[in-house]
Amino acid sequence: MKIIVIVLMMFSFLYSADMQNRDLEAENKKLVEKIAELEKLILKQQKILKTKENIDKNLLNCSYKCEDEDTFPKLVMKKEYQEEGLDEDKIIKFSSSSFRLREDSEIYDSINGKKIAEWKSGRVFTSSMMNSRWIKISGYYENKKYKIAKKEMWVNASQISKR
């Protein structure tokens, strides 16, 4: 009887050890699967990080290239439509036209000269010469009568409008 009890105890011990072993193996298998999933996730994250770094490098390289290279073609106006730039000193003659003062303006005896008169806004005058910032007054209306300018008179071009 003692032998049977000992054998039963041994079987129960072996059975519990076997069950414990099976539980450990199942748990071990689950942990191995979880480790594999985490390793895959780490690889994905590394790929994403490398891709982001490459994009940042490409953007930096592109910004340097974009600053250096102008991808748009240089557009040039046809010669027949080009206007010569107005030099400040170069006086251009044109057919006589009438102009009106947009605001009260000072009249000068030459370009950047001395102030000789002050005209009210709305006054009409004629001119046939100008440079980039000044218009020469060749004649003007006074009391509804046209008078030719006897002395040289200039007005700032920013204060007039063509009539």
- Structure confidence at residue 86 as a pLDDT band (50, 70, 90): very low
Domain final residue pick, 75, 98, 117: 75
The residue to which tokens 């193996």 are assigned: 25
Domain final residue pick, 17, 46, 75: 75
Q: What is the pLDDT of residues 1-43, one digit of tens each?
A: 667 767 667 667 666 766 777 788 888 899 999 999 999 999 9
81 assigned to some structural domain:
no
CA distance 84 to 131: 12
Structure tokens at 153: 């008179």
Domain of residue 155: give its range.
86-162
pTM score, two decimals? 0.47
Q: How many CB atoms lie within 10 A of CB 12?
A: 10
109 assigned to some structural domain:
yes
Please indicate, yes or no, whether residues 67 and 131 belong to a single structural domain of this protein.
Answer: no
Span 140-152, average pLDDT: 89
What's the total number of domains in the chain? Answer: 2
Residue 47 dihedral angles phi and psi, to the nearest 5°: -65, -45
Domain final residue pick, 11, 45, 75: 75
Q: Which residues contact 39 (CB under 8 A, 6 or more apart)?
A: none
Q: What is the pLDDT of residues 47-82, one digit of tens each?
A: 998 888 888 777 766 655 555 566 667 777 777 766
